[in-house]
Structure 1
Amino acid sequence: MNKYPWWKNALILVIVAFGLFYAAPNLYSPDPAIQISGESGGAIISEVELQKVTKALEAEGIEHFGESISEKGNSALVRLKDREQQLTAQRLIQRALGDGFIVALNLAPTTPDWLTAWGGQPMKLGLDLSGGVHFLLEVDTDSAIVGRQEFYSTGIKRALRQERIRGLVQLQDNGAIEGRFKSEELRDRAARVIRDEYAELQVTKTEEGEDYFLRAVIGEQTRKEIENYAVEQNLTTLRNRVNELGVSEPLVQRQGKSRIVVELPGIQDTAEAKRILGKTANLEFRLEARYDAPASDRQYFEFRSDRYGDAGAWLEKDIVITGERVSNAQAGFDQQTGQAQVNITLDSEGGTLMHRITRHNINRRLGVLFIERKTRTTYVETASGEEKVIKTPYDEKRIISLATIRDALGVQFRITGLDSPAEAAELALLLRAGALAAPIDFVEERTVGPSLGAENIKQGVLSVQIGLALVAAFMLLYYRVFGVAAVIALSVNIVLLIAVMSILSATLTLPGIAGIVLTVGMAVDANVLIFARIREELANRASPQQAISAGFDRAFVTIMDANITTLLVAIILYAVGTGPVKGFAVTLSIGIITSMFTALMGTRSIINLIYGGRRVNKLAI
């Protein structure tokens, strides 16, 4: 007799129930929504802001429902009736709230609480289906040039001081670094130092009366290299930040000279993504200026928090190091005060510079500047009566920490002065992912049009249904009762495939649907091998029970060999492929594993239930 022990049947039932439960969330379509959060990770959204939002939407007749503020209070979500109104609603809400808030498009899940309580979540859909966001970013390469000019200016001043060459070196408004010296010898020595330290600069010499001048400018080729580096560095940083967000199957690629495309399929918190991607969040470490320092060598900055009492402080223009020298950053708490802090680890060059400067400035104060790229929005009415939105980006630099240097600092130290643990965690994330080489601006933000996504989903589901129907018809006509068992196992296979993808938070793309269709064919292929083997055993005059047992046992090796080789190919595709290829490889890999379970165990369990408990003379195969 062919009978499974009770525990094997129980195991199969548990796995099938498990699959049905975790596949169920995919039956609930998400609602189009608008998500609101502050520009800072520690910002709080109150009922006052939420009332402004609802009034703005009601004034324009946009249907909405389910307004809610998150448990932490750092974001709010407004659900809409019509996805076509998302962009209009976003513009209205942004104007109602003004600057200081990030308003982003989102898709709000509708999975029941009893499912989510046990970890049930729907599959993420790729941008070619639905549920993603597309950003087009513009890199401000001019700021990269200005930053490099300031770097050269600071470096030249430091090099001349070390060589004891006295002269006045200043960065001009046109970007040129100009030096004035009292003698030709000093000027020539300075020129040699600059050429040795910064060979990429073009140095020219002039004379006026008793003063000797030199002028150092960035060459055109170097300028192009700086611009290209800024875009490539931002590309790397954005990829690191996207990885920190944990987005599946993201796309981050360069477009043209200074633009970057970011596509985040299946993302749940678009406001956080927009804030994390767009934030410059760089740091500058500067010594506090001496009281007798000339005005040309110092700058005044306000404090980011009022905990220091004063409105601001004067810092030297010379920068010790920037956030680009940070190799690691972790949020934490000060054990004495309990305040949020960020523990910083510098790279070797950054540690050397920090140690050199702090060693000679004990008991002076070191300021940490927090740099944010913000946008000032103004609304202007044109002559035709239409409203024009003008966004003006600007950099805000504020002091977050001003502490006295007690000992020479090295590779590791900490930054305090942050308002909340959320802000400390966000700053650590941004520094850990890497500083942006130049600020970026959001040129375009959109989600995939609902008609495109819906049509792709409709065609993809239809292809799976047609494939399943044709396979089911063939199996039922050709293998009869055994065909029924195969069709049931095939249906369970698709359910398990969807459940596993949901648990793993895998992103389903259009090529992924093609992988599911292929899995349907591969799953039934295993059953065909088993049934063909059973027929051969019957032709060799084996009894029905012996034929069933031999058919499953002897086909096992063949099925394992075929599926393992295909699985290896799928793994290679995932390892070396990108985008659509990975989406195909994911569904194919999972489908191979689930199809082996349903073909070898599921089908046999059903056949055993039909024929295993009794003596039979003939099989309906």
Structure 2
Amino acid sequence: MLYFAPWKTALIVAFAILSVAFALPNAFDEETVESWPDFLPQQQIVLGLDLQGGAHMLLQVERESLVADRLEVLRDDVRTSLRDERIGYTGLSVQSDAVQLRIRDLDRVSDATTVLNGLAAPADPLSFGAQDRDVEVDVAADGLARLTLTQEGVDARLAQAVQQSIEVIRRRIDQLGTTEPTIQREGQDRVLVQVPGLDDPQRLKDLLQQTAALSFHLLCEDMSVDEALRTRPPAGCYLANSVDEPVQPYLLQTRALITGDQLADAQPGFDQQTQEAIVSFRFNTSGASTFGQATTANVGQPFAIVLDDEVISAPVIREPILGGSGQISGNFTPELANDLAILLRAGALPADLTIVEERTVGPGLGADSIAAGEIAGLIGAVGVLVFMGLSYGLFGMFANIALFVNISLILAALSVLGATLTLPGIAGIVLTVGMAVDSNVLIFERIREEVRRGRKTIAAVDVGFREALRTILDANITTLIAAVILFQLGSGPVRGFAVTLAIGIVTTVFTAYTLTRLLVALWVKTRRPTALPI
């Protein structure tokens, strides 16, 4: 047990030196580390929200918004389907949580029922053999028809909307250049967003709350805007206001020429003639074809570029736009143009998001947390070092060297893995400091026991390490299982604590048993002691 082949000794020493080298960048500021030669390790630990400040938001997907959008789509589907079958109807409208209409020709009520039933889909398309539908169709003998959204259908769409919102939010935040954001589902209809290191929480709020639904509409010429304001817009048209001040109303066709779903890219830039900030966009292949056909058929007609029901601009189609690209202008600042490009690239949210909880952690509070954690770690480390030195003499010094390497290994692992260190994570490291020497205590006490039994020096050390190994593994494996469970079932701070605890357990087994045993073996080999200083 005390013999180490030269290659093993070299490997253990090299591993310990590398751990110190990879942990060293965390002792310096970022600018200093960036000035180092490229061959030196430069990765630093990513600090969590509570250590470097940032934004914490809890967002809720609006069920009412989701239901309203679904009813609007269902109403349009009803109109299109009945017209295709040449079935006359009247009074098509959205009433509360249903779409209502009346079939004119009572002889075709049966045909209308078949058509309307065809609009219902499985509530959960991924559930094989599911009988629940997302729409319940009720057609009375007098021709009155109601299409009501079912609870199962709304719940399924809500779940899909939450998942889609998470992906859209992730794409938007990633393009802000932040590091290690936390984006996860909370409950049935909420999304937790934590962005460490963000110095402009208001910008994040604006990005997350904007649905970013882009569409292109022809202007409605069936009625003047003034008349539509006095009465009501004609069927198939609606009123929308401009973004710019003073607000100007537009009467637009409800049906969009094309939507932002078919955008391939969007980039901020400047108009070469006016030097104004703009957003250049490009459609994918199918979108370019659709846009080209729409502009070819409507040359000379004005059309509106609409973002979240507000008109950004309303140019006239001078000539067919066949390249699938164009630009959006509208008195943008460079930052607004960049944010709009981010929103368009990331895609539209499936429903409105409401901020339920908002918390901002300033950098000063983060610095205080780091300082408090450093003080706690330093006090714990000094206490352990003094205790081991006084209790076990030279062997205690060996344990202290192993403890230093152990902490270096933890910091190096967190740096290389890119794991986020939080305040509970620091607590996990401090706990590891106390637990790390526990294995050495077990070994040293067993060696003392073997000496009292009359064993020789080398035999007592050999038996002490060999017999304590099983106990060390049992204790650390059970703790590791608890850490894994905390990581799987916990969230946020609990997961941060579990990560550092799990890494600390693995490094503890290596340093407390293998490294300490190597140090003791080298000492025995060079000094040939007749008595143990323990």
Which of the numbers 500, 504, 514 marks the counterpart of 2:413?
500
Question: What does residue 43 of structure 2 align with?
Answer: 121
Cα distance in structure 2, aligned partners of 1:550 and 1:147: 74
CA contact (8 A) 1:134 1:264 kept: yes
The answer to whether residue 444 in structure 2 is matched with residue 523 in structure 1 is no
Question: What does residue 155 of structure 1 align with?
Answer: 77
The answer to whether residue 353 in structure 2 is matched with residue 440 in structure 1 is yes
Cα distance in structure 1, aligned partners of 2:507 and 2:98: 66
Cα distance in structure 2, aligned partners of 1:618 and 1:216: 94
Question: What does residue 240 of structure 1 align with?
Answer: 167
Deviations 1:566-606 (A, max 9, x none): 22332222122222221121011100111122112322233
Would the alpha carbon gap of residues 120 and 366 (structure 1) be closer, same or farther in structure 2, given more than 3 Å must change?
farther
Cα distance in structure 2, aligned partners of 1:518 and 1:253: 30
- Shift in Å, 1:115: 5.0
Cα distance in structure 1, aligned partners of 2:418 and 2:93: 52
Question: What does residue 470 of structure 1 align with?
Answer: 383
Q: How does 1:78-477 map to 2 (within 5 A)?
A: 109-110=30-31, 112-114=33-35, 117=38, 120-135=42-57, 137=59, 143-167=65-89, 185=107, 190=112, 194=116, 197=119, 200=136, 233-241=160-168, 245=174, 248=180, 250=182, 252=184, 261-265=192-196, 277-278=208-209, 280-282=211-213, 296-297=235-236, 317=255, 372-373=307-308, 394=310, 417=325, 430=346, 436-440=349-353, 447-450=360-363, 452-477=365-390
Deviations 1:176-215 (A, max 9, x none): 9676876555689657855785655788999xxxxxx968
- Shift in Å, 1:498: 1.4
Cα distance in structure 1, aligned partners of 2:469 and 2:482: 20
Deviations 1:513-569 (A, max 9, x none): 222122122211111122123223333433323333333334333323332332233
The answer to whether residue 482 in structure 2 is matched with residue 569 in structure 1 is yes
Question: What does residue 583 of structure 1 align with?
Answer: 496
Question: What does residue 618 of structure 1 align with?
Answer: 531
Cα distance in structure 2, aligned partners of 1:510 and 1:556: 32
Deviations 1:306-354 (A, max 9, x none): xxxxxxxx9882799995xx9xx998xxxxxxx977589xxxxxxxxx9
Residue range with higher mean Cα deviation, 484-493 or 235-244: 235-244
Question: What does residue 300 of structure 2 align with?
Answer: none
The answer to whether residue 459 in structure 2 is matched with residue 558 in structure 1 is no
CA contact (8 A) 2:443 2:468 kept: yes
Cα distance in structure 2, aligned partners of 1:120 and 1:191: 68
Would the alpha carbon gap of residues 174 and 600 (structure 1) be closer, same or farther in structure 2, given more than 3 Å must change?
closer
CA contact (8 A) 1:285 1:366 kept: no
Would the alpha carbon gap of residues 134 and 424 (structure 1) be closer, same or farther in structure 2, given more than 3 Å must change?
closer
AA of the residue aligned to 1:112: V
Percent of aligned pairs sharing the same letter: 35
AA of the residue aligned to 1:500: A
**Greater strand percent: which structure?**
1
Cα distance in structure 2, aligned partners of 1:542 and 1:232: 68
Question: What does residue 545 of structure 1 align with?
Answer: 458
CA contact (8 A) 2:19 2:409 kept: yes
Cα distance in structure 1, aligned partners of 2:12 and 2:31: 30
CA contact (8 A) 1:266 1:507 kept: no
Which of the numbers 379, 395, 398 marks the counterpart of 1:485?
398
Deviations 1:14-66 (A, max 9, x none): 3333223332333346xxxxxxxxxxxxxxxxxxxxxxxxxxxxxxxxxxxxx
CA contact (8 A) 1:276 1:430 kept: no
Would the alpha carbon gap of residues 428 and 250 (structure 1) be closer, same or farther in structure 2, given more than 3 Å must change?
same
Cα distance in structure 2, aligned partners of 1:254 and 1:584: 20
CA contact (8 A) 1:238 1:277 kept: no
CA contact (8 A) 1:169 1:177 kept: no
Cα distance in structure 2, aligned partners of 1:2 and 1:217: 81
Cα distance in structure 2, aligned partners of 1:149 and 1:279: 21
- Shift in Å, 1:476: 1.1
AA of the residue aligned to 2:14: V
The two structures have a TM-score, normalised by structure 2, of: 0.66
Would the alpha carbon gap of residues 340 and 113 (structure 1) be closer, same or farther in structure 2, given more than 3 Å must change?
farther
Cα distance in structure 2, aligned partners of 1:370 and 1:613: 82
Would the alpha carbon gap of residues 12 and 148 (structure 1) be closer, same or farther in structure 2, given more than 3 Å must change?
same
Q: How does 1:36-51 map to 2 (within 5 A)?
A: none
AA of the residue aligned to 1:130: Q
CA contact (8 A) 2:476 2:505 kept: yes
Would the alpha carbon gap of residues 8 and 176 (structure 1) be closer, same or farther in structure 2, given more than 3 Å must change?
closer
CA contact (8 A) 2:214 2:307 kept: no
CA contact (8 A) 1:230 1:437 kept: no
CA contact (8 A) 1:241 1:277 kept: no
Cα distance in structure 1, aligned partners of 2:515 and 2:311: 62
Cα distance in structure 2, aligned partners of 1:135 and 1:464: 30
Number of residue pairs matched?
465
- Shift in Å, 1:418: 7.8
Cα distance in structure 2, aligned partners of 1:115 and 1:446: 37
Question: What does residue 243 of structure 2 align with?
Answer: none
- 2:193 match: secondary structure: strand
Residue range with higher mean Cα deviation, 260-269 or 143-152: 260-269
- 1:572 match: secondary structure: helix
Would the alpha carbon gap of residues 529 and 436 (structure 1) be closer, same or farther in structure 2, given more than 3 Å must change?
same
Would the alpha carbon gap of residues 403 and 512 (structure 1) be closer, same or farther in structure 2, given more than 3 Å must change?
same
The answer to whether residue 488 in structure 2 is matched with residue 604 in structure 1 is no
AA of the residue aligned to 1:469: V
Gaps of 5+ in 1: 30-108, 207-212, 302-313, 332-338, 345-353, 374-392, 405-414
Deviations 1:456-515 (A, max 9, x none): 333333332332223222211110000011112112211211121122121222322222
Cα distance in structure 1, aligned partners of 2:394 and 2:426: 29
Deviations 1:116-146 (A, max 9, x none): 9456233223333334322354656665454
Q: How does 1:34-73 map to 2 (within 5 A)?
A: none
Deviations 1:130-183 (A, max 9, x none): 343223546566654542232022111122134320346765899996768765
Which of the numbers 438, 445, 448 marks the counterpart of 1:535?
448
CA contact (8 A) 1:563 1:592 kept: yes
- 2:43 match: secondary structure: coil
